[in-house]
Amino acid sequence: MATAETQGDPERHCSDLYTRTGWVNASIALGQLEQGKAIGDRGILWVRSKIQRQLLYLGNFVDTHAGKVLFVGLLVIATFCVGLKSSTFHSDIEQLWAEPQYHEDIPPSEILSTHQMIVQTAVDPDSSLLHTNALLEHLALLQQATQVTITMFDITWRLKDICQSASVPNFEIQYIEKIFENIIPCSIATPLDCFWEGSKLLGPDYAVHIPGGGPNHVKWTNLNPNQLVNNMKQKQANFDYYSLEDYFHRGGITSGYQEKPCLNPRDPECPESAPNYNSTQPLDVGAYLTSGCYGFAAKYMHWPEELIVGGVSKNKLGHIKHAKALQSVVQLMDKHELHEFWANTYKIHHIGWSQEKASLILHSWQKRFAQEVERLVKSNTSSSYLFNTFSTATLNKGLVEHSKIDYFKLRIVLVVVGIYGWVIQSGLATLGVLLLASSTAAGLGVCSLLGLPMNLLSTHVLPFLSVGLAMREMFMILSMQNRNLTPSEILQRVGPSILTAALMQSATFLIAAVVPIPALRIFCLQCSILSIFHAAAILLIFPTLIALQVRCRKAAVPCFRNESKTAQPQNNNNNNNNNDPELGANLLTAEIICQQKKSILSLFVNHYLVKLIFQPVIKMLLCVVYLVLIAFCIFNGLKLQYDVRLSSFLPKSTQEHRYLEAQNEYFGFYNFFLVTRELEYPLNQPLLYEYHRSLSNVPHVLKDSNGGLNMNDFWLANFRDFLTDLQEEFDQNKSNNCVSRDGKWYPNATEKAVLAIKLLAQTGVVEFPVDKSQIFNKKLVVNNVIDRKAFYNYLSVWSSNDQMSYSSSRANLWPKPFQYYSSKSENDLKIPKSQPLIYTQMPFYLKNLRTTSKIMETLKEIKEISDSYNSKGLKNYPVGLIFAYFNQFLVIDRLLLAQLATTLLVSNLIAAVLIKWTKLWCSLFSILACFLLIGFLNISAMTGTMGAFHFIVISRNITLVLSGFLCALGNKEKRVKMSLEVNADSILKGDIGLLICASVLATSQFEFIQYDIFTMVLISVCGSVASSLIFFPVLLALFGPKEELQSLEHNDRISTPPPPPMPPPPAKAQTYPRTQRRSMNSKTTREPSLTTITEESCNQSIVVEPQVTVEYTSPESSSSGPCGPYTTKVTATANIKVELVTPVYRSSKCSSKCHRTKCSRRQQQCKCCKQDSESSDSSVETETCPNS
């Protein structure tokens, strides 16, 4: 047998069928195992043979019905594209990057506050702003910007209508309440409040006339509240000045701004009571800004130093000596507060007032404010300072404008990639790029129909990366076309690799959706769906283009005429294989010899790079370099840090981006809330105080000057202080005999004492709400604990009668407490009881958090405290901007490890379809080594998603090279060369195409796209090419596993396989019986044939010498191996002497002797005619027909 095969065609034995049997046709490889001619991975070959068989059927169908399949495929793509009309778009910052909150039983709280913020920095980053000119310019810009107005719903809205301001008591005198309504200003946290000039921001717009007290025209620039009350006492004695003084006392309202220093002592309005009035000495701005500033109500309006001054450096005494930034915050109501504030008022009675309209008014005013600031900055070209604003409205507006798809960039990328495909491959590559782009649109249409919203990643990143990832599969098919294979043969070879790669890619993105960031989760789900769409387009629609191209060449279409010349069969190179005893006459084939078209890249890899890396010295050098790179990546990965900045998610050209950059660099100031829910608040007051005090141990939590927490922000403490003050007032009135034992009060009793009497009479029992006997026997507060039974009766009074304290605590109590206002003239002691609370919150501030690592450490401490009190039965959790955007990073390390482990497990299971699982160790090692490249970037929000992308780019090429290595036969180096010969071309072209598609990301306005995503794409492509074409081949050549099919008779090929069974004959058309006469007529009038010439011979004779060449189509009909193609032909000739006779003698001569019949499906000669013919060297023998 070996001798016979040795005598066969050596070029045939170097073909792909013999050297890459499992890749070409796994069924033949499986037959070698069954015949005992080879050993190998039977299970893998069996699975692949089933897949190849289905792909072969698919390819035949696509080849036969190319036009129909193309039309239907394009129709399906166009139909799915219609789904884009039903798409929704997410552009709000909360919808994109904030962790979703799931609390449906409470009112929604906005993650980003509606406050309007403005920050001032110097053009020179090293300059200090601690001088009067900087603050005066800050004042001028802020003063003009706060004067803007908008007109909506036929109503003019100004800052006073939408800002937060201190509540005023109920004086029951209309003109007094009108005066307070005009004079109580908006709350603005600003460094200007340390100086008299801060009063210029408070207004009012029109001076207020107060009868009988102070100047005729009152503004905050000349208002001294204490002096005003004293003057009014002397002139108007019929007013309840006690309540007004009590209001001033509880709010810390004293002399206003009259005793604060002036930035410009020469200002005509600078009060004489100012410390530097008419002074020529320079003002020590830093000393006054140290420890923060106070508003007009000092008790509840303390602006921390860390909030209003940034980039601070201090001297030994702790005074500020250098500052790089100043910040002001205009405090606005949110849409819920604005809706509630104006509800049931005459101003909005005609517009159908709703929260949506309140939100529109807020956003419109904020946009107008930002536009005015931008206009003022541009108009003042000589300024040495920069001003940037920030608000939720302008932030979301910028995201909407920059999230739209850039069709210009999309066209440029499609044109460039199309030209690249045309130059590097052929025109089919350009059509393939258009097909992939259209399938991307169809896939996004399906995503929209499934309810997945679009976002900026869907428009700025997804189209380019998805098309770039699919280009490798397109070039895999085109590289097989260069080997002159039919579409069915192409799919049979590369189809399994394309299928497994698509499944691995889709599964990897699906696993990456575990990241709890809405934008990234949706992006991963969309990528997973698009991977399936691209695989379907490549396997179903793209082969139709190849089939149609072949038809155009055969039809000599002008565009394909020149190319068709290279595909013509070279029939002059006949090569007989009659001497091959194993094939013999069964392999009667005439295979077309075609030269493989190789690109420059493939030639470089196969003829230069492979020879270079397999030299012993280079091989050892590469191993050392590989180990050094792995060690360096591990060392660099150990120093990874978190790098999460909210500014990176915003367009760089917007004011909001510049503001967040300055805020992160100079301030690092955040606020958050601790939420408590479903607690018996009256019974757990000590636990709440303990919970509140526990945060004093967190280093970056803002504390007061005594090192403790500011209790003025804690609602329960304010509630307690209010009741304690009432109890003291009652005790004083009782000692002055202003109240009686039966629960009545005398005219000289104060309003606070009367309110205390009503509170002391509450029992907290609905059936018996009032008990006068306990007025003198109980206390409102005992040991800092509010009376538990009447807790919710007291809450109704506090929320209504101490509104400044209630609003400053920002408790957001839910359900809202009942409103109750007390009066001495009302004798009813019953006070409504509020509903039990299910939601409360405590505000806190964090300072000096300028790095992500500090933020993570602080948040972990707060979360640990929260979890510890959850275990004690106090249901609580932190909320706020800092937790919404950074909370998911507290568990990011565990999420990334779980994602990596799941991805490796699933990808190995999918790869085990083509590769035996015991042989995946080398690819797993190389993938993990290349995965270390991700350590060159810090951990950010994109780490999980781009880690999945990096894994896909790396693993698919390594798996492809390994698959080609295992399918080849021979020694390890030869198998590596054979694998690279087939796969290097598509790997290089595909990765370069991916890089071209992704290059547009470098021009993005979003920092995270420009740096995080594009940098990772660049690292992934470079790592993929270096690993799959240099390091991994060396690893396979040294330690690679055995091939999946090992021949027992030859080292580098399989034994010659038996020919496949002949296909069954085509079914004959159905015939109908005819009359004898009609049959005889047909016989006498038919054309002469070779088998009947002897019967129709008369007196003449002719000699016929036909030459017949019989061709047999083998399973490797068109492929060529490393040694080139082969041809097997058998030629038969015959000399036949034929006598012609007249038809009239035909029946008499032959009818009685023999009958014509068919034996073994061939047309045979009868015995009487056989003697007239001569045999030749033909291999076809004449058989004797059986007797009829």
544-566: per-residue pLDDT in tens? 999 888 888 887 776 665 443 33
For residue 561, the model assigns a pLDDT of 54
454-471 average pLDDT score: 92
Tokens of 789: 């039974």
pLDDT tops 50 at residue 475: yes
Bridge partner list, 841? 675
- Find, among 637, 635, 661, 634, the residue nearest to 647 by Cα: 661
Tokens of 441: 């649109």
Bond from prior residue into 185 cis (ω within 30 degrees of 0): no
What SS3 state is found at 748?
coil
405-426 average pLDDT score: 90
The pLDDT tens digits for 996-1015 are: 999 999 999 898 898 889 99
For residue 1145, the model assigns a pLDDT of 39
- Taking the CA atoms of residue 265, residue 270, residue 274 and residue 279 in that order, the dihedral angle to the nearest 10 degrees is 20
390-418 average pLDDT score: 87
pTM: 0.81
| CB of 1002 closer than 8 Å to CB of 1018 | no
For residue 1134, the model assigns a pLDDT of 55
pLDDT tops 60 at residue 596: no
CB contact set of 403 (below 8 Å; sequence gap of 6+): 89, 91, 455, 456, 459, 460
Lowest mean pLDDT among 281-285, 429-433, 592-596: 592-596
For residue 308, the model assigns a pLDDT of 93
CA 690 to CA 686: how far, in whole Å?
A: 6
- Band (pLDDT 50/70/90 cuts) for residue 395 is confident
Work out the number of other CB atoms within 10 angstroms of the CB of residue 900.
17
Lowest mean pLDDT among 478-492, 924-938, 1050-1064, 1174-1188: 1174-1188
Tokens of 584: 């013999």
CA 638 to CA 640: how far, in whole Å?
A: 6
CA 992 to CA 457: how far, in whole Å?
A: 22
Residue whose token pair is 């097909």: 435
- Band (pLDDT 50/70/90 cuts) for residue 204 is confident
- Taking the CA atoms of residue 608, residue 611, residue 613 and residue 616 in that order, the dihedral angle to the nearest 10 degrees is -150
**Torsion sign over Cα 55, 61, 65, 71:** negative
| CB of 593 closer than 8 Å to CB of 15 | no
For residue 249, the model assigns a pLDDT of 84
In the DSSP assignment, the letter for residue 743 is S
Bridge partner list, 326? 120, 309
pLDDT tops 80 at residue 1137: no
**854 vs 98, which has greater pLDDT?**
854
The pLDDT tens digits for 49-107 are: 999 999 999 999 999 999 999 999 999 999 999 989 888 888 888 888 877 665 544 54
For residue 396, the model assigns a pLDDT of 82
pLDDT tops 60 at residue 794: yes
839-863 average pLDDT score: 90
The pLDDT tens digits for 303-359 are: 999 999 999 999 888 889 999 999 999 999 888 889 988 988 888 888 889 989 999
For residue 1149, the model assigns a pLDDT of 39
For residue 1188, the model assigns a pLDDT of 32
| CB of 946 closer than 8 Å to CB of 1039 | no
Tokens of 200: 């210029």
- Find, among 971, 955, 893, 882, the residue nearest to 922 by Cα: 955
For residue 77, the model assigns a pLDDT of 94
- Band (pLDDT 50/70/90 cuts) for residue 165 is confident
For residue 1171, the model assigns a pLDDT of 41
For residue 708, the model assigns a pLDDT of 76
CB contact set of 1038 (below 8 Å; sequence gap of 6+): 619, 623, 972
For residue 1132, the model assigns a pLDDT of 55
- Band (pLDDT 50/70/90 cuts) for residue 893 is confident
Average pLDDT, the chain: 81
pLDDT tops 50 at residue 1: no
